[in-house]
Amino acid sequence: MGEAPSSKENSSGAGSGTAAAPASRLPCSNSLAGTPTTQPLFSVNLKGPEGQVIEAADPRSTRALVSLMDMNAVIGGAASHYGGPAAFAEIMSALHSYVFWRAQKSQSQWFNHFHLVNDAGHCENGLYALRANYAWGGLTIDDLKKFRSIESSLTGHGESHLFPEGVFLSNGPLGSAFPQSMGLALADAHAGKKRVTITTISDGACMEGEAREALAAVPGMAARGLLNPFVLIISDNNTKLSGRIDQESFSMEPTFKSLSALGWKVIEVPQGNDLQKCFDAIAMAVTTAEANPKQAVVIHARTIKGIGTAKTAASASGGHGFPLKSASELPAFLSEIYAGEKYPAAFNQWIEEVIGIEKSKAKPAPKKVSVLNGPNDKIQVGVASALIRARKEGLPLVSITSDLPGSTGLAAFRKEFPGDSIDIGVAESNMVSVAAGFSKLGAIPIVDTFAQFGVTKGALPHVMAQLSQAPMIAVYSHTGFQDAADGASHQALSYLAMTMSIPHVKVFTLSCRDEADALVYQAVQEFAKARHAGQVPESYFFFLGRENFPFSYASDVKYRLHEAQILVRHEKADVTLIACGSMVPQAIEAAALAAESGITAQVCHASAMSHPDVKNIKALLQSSGGRGVVIEDHQEIGGFGQRLSAELIQTGEHFVLHTLGVKGEFGRSAYLADELYDLHGISAAAIKRHLLTFRDSKR
């Protein structure tokens, strides 16, 4: 197991007894690809620590490959990232060329000497490009063309469960991989294993609570001799998704200036997009950390998000999302990345391929179900209109956001009422806690982010807010597989399980624009009514999808808070489909498909998740012979199917209720949510197959 710990403290960390040698570690597989055996296909030369020439991946090729990958994804229907990986291109090239040089010099695999951890998950496509440039682990340029598709292990963010050859610690939610990398350095020190941990992170991620804890703990643990050599590389470009950090939230400059006081050895790199300067800084950081493991080292690199083209670099978000709409724009885009120099001819073939895909991409056939063929919009539009209307009526709504209002629908409210809008930064826990303070002083705080972040990073703050009698309204979008392209780390599959049991929280799903407008407005009214009556209101959590949905599903539907909406009704049916949120279109389409096979299915949207509308759902089940199927983009464990079943049991009547949900698995990237619905058996076609089995089992 390597060298024994050198001190009692290093072995136990506490206590006054005789230190025992660490127990042997259990076998743990490592699937990481070894040191590349070839030089980069697209390379530039660096001056190494010993004056030698070192070939490194050309950062321009990384930006170009990212652009090509992103274009494939965009044409497939997915969003993608450009600005972050563009900013990191020199850092990543320098880091890997240094690590590989060290590994080759020692004639040992790189992972025997280093842990390389990327916290900036939205920059993972830059690492895929770099890996393919080296043909590292057998990854090829052609492999990049399926990036973010359901066919590829190259997911939107780095996922160890799908790409263990390249990802040791998964990333995605900002600030989550950094503290785990601290665990690697602690574990190595505990086992007496000599190895350097190097973690890359963005400035926005440093706003997260987890990251701030690690910023303090890493140098503290190192000073006690409990940590192996540790190097942190911060890409600082003062930019997050919604704009410049210091303008939208607050300056991170004091935080970065405090690193020295926290105990870090700080290496400043004012030109973080200069490849040689990055290489030299990394070489200095590693040798410094190895010489004195009791002081962790941080490289503070000033980068430009979106560097490569003037438009992306100048945009408020730094070109966070890929800016091109058509493959025909690629030649000019790549030419600008290469500053007018001729870019590699190999890229032209890819450009021609993607242009061909774009031209041949058939227009999707219209859906058979008429209700799904009409006008459509984001559910977020209904959320915003409800909040704007309530605020115009004089209710004290205040938006407390954490960088994603453009995705959740709150951007429209914030534009209308900038004085009632606060961006806390990339810090979901702090967002919820701040909202609790507003609630205690008479405001109606609205918090918003992706569902995955709201229910995980916001979990304890939500509990404490309720315990403090500080209710709020939460708007959490991109539920289930609706955030298809970003991958498992962004796909909220436990959002109901993590919120329905919090006392005094009412949880709802939203399925369309008109429903959102009605229910969110009614919730605000209920909140205000309770305050005027001298009562503590309930909290209202609304979960919604990402893609476009019909304005409404039925012309005569009445949207009432706490009630299920009956969308397809029959006097006598074979089964009732009880859909949750984004699954409503799948249920309606499944009912039409089932009718072709002689099965009469009625459909309702349950909407009220934590407190099911038992009265109306029970009546529907009675009219369908007591048979029902719950369809949810959620883990079956802890989902609405189990919640509804528990309520129905209390009625004393017998019902046969099946649930179609996610069966204890993580998701993965796909261009569209429909692909993941089909994979997990919750698409319209899969629902129909289940109904056929359901019918046949009765015979």
C-alpha 147/C-alpha 589 separation (Å) is 30
Give me the pLDDT at residue 374, please: 82
Q: Provide the pLDDT confidence category of residue 366 given band limits of 50, 70 and 90.
A: low
Structure tokens at 205: 């991620």
Q: How far from 345 is each of 22, 73, 102, 139, 233, CA to CA, in Å?
A: 55, 22, 32, 20, 33
CB 224 within 8 A of CB 290: no
**157 near 190, Cβ under 8 Å?**
no
Instruction: Take residue 528 and report the two structure tokens written for it.
Output: 């205000």
Residue where one domain finishes, among candidates 550, 583, 609: 550
Q: Does 168 map to a domain?
A: yes
Q: Are 91 and 272 in contact (CB under 8 A)?
A: yes
Length of the chain: 699
The reply to whether 528 and 381 lie within a common domain is yes
What's the whole-number mean pLDDT along residues 23-32? Answer: 90
601-605 and 627-635 beta bridge pairing? unpaired
Evaluate whether residue 23 is within a structural domain: no
More confident residue, 614 or 369: 614
Same domain, residue pair 70 and 138:
yes
Res. 29 pLDDT band, cuts 50 70 90: confident
CATH of the domain at 569: 3.40.50.920
Q: Taking a C-beta distance cutoff of 8 angstroms, is the pair 475, 542 a contact?
A: yes
Question: Could you tell me which of 399, 398, 396, 436 has the C-alpha nearest to residue 536?
Answer: 436
Phi-psi domain of 454 (left: phi exceeds 0; alpha: psi -120 through 50; beta: other): alpha
Per-residue model confidence (pLDDT) at position 4:
35
CA distance 63 to 81: 11
> Could you tell me if 287 and 428 lie in one domain?
no
Residue 289 shares a structural domain with residue 423: no
32 within a domain of the structure (yes/no): no
Burial class for 445, CB neighbours closer than 10 Å (0-12, 13-18, 19+): buried
Burial 15-38 (b: 16+ CB within 10 A, else e): eeeeeeebeeeeeeeeebbebbee
- Count how many domains the chain has: 3
Output the pLDDT for position 21: 74
Domain range for 492 is 376-550
Q: At a CB cut-off of 8 Å and minimum separation 6, what does 450 contact?
A: 404, 407, 408, 476, 477, 478, 483, 490, 492
Residue at a domain's end among 494, 518, 550: 550
Q: Residue 15: pLDDT above 50?
A: no
In a shared domain, residues 569 and 546 = no
- Are residues 85 and 55 located together in one domain of the fold? yes
The pLDDT tens digits for 580-621 are 999 999 999 999 999 999 999 999 999 999 999 999 999 999
Query: pLDDT tens, 290-340?
Result: 999 999 999 999 999 999 999 999 999 999 999 999 999 999 999 999 999
pLDDT of residue 20: 72
**DSSP H/E element including 234:** strand 230-236
In contact, 550 and 556? CB cutoff 8 Å: no
Name residues whose C-beta falls within 8 Å of residue 615's C-beta, 6 or more positions apart in sequence.
none
Classify residue 17: in a domain, yes or no. no
Domain co-membership, 534 together with 646: no
- Has residue 274 been placed in a domain? yes
683: helix, coil or strand? coil
Say which amino acid occupies 24.
S
Same domain for 526 and 572? Answer: no
The DSSP secondary-structure symbol of 119 reads -
**1 inside domain:** no
| Together in a domain, 388 and 492 | yes
Question: What's the rounded Cα separation, in Å, for the pair 20 and 479?
Answer: 48
d(CA 41, CA 65): 12
CATH of the domain at 544: 3.40.50.970
pLDDT in tens, 38-90: 999 999 999 999 999 999 999 999 999 999 999 999 999 998 999 999 999 99
Which of 524, 550, 576 delimits the end of a domain?
550
6 within some domain: no
Is residue 362 in a domain? Answer: no
pLDDT > 70 in the chain, percent: 95
- Do 286 and 243 share a structural domain? yes
Q: Kindly state whether residues 534 and 669 are assigned to the same domain.
A: no
Give the pLDDT confidence of 470-514 residue by residue, as tens digits. Answer: 999 999 999 999 999 999 999 999 999 999 999 999 999 999 999
Determine how β-strand 575-579 pairs with β-strand 627-635: parallel
Residues 327 and 416 in one domain: no
- Residue with the bigger pLDDT between 637 and 696: it is 637
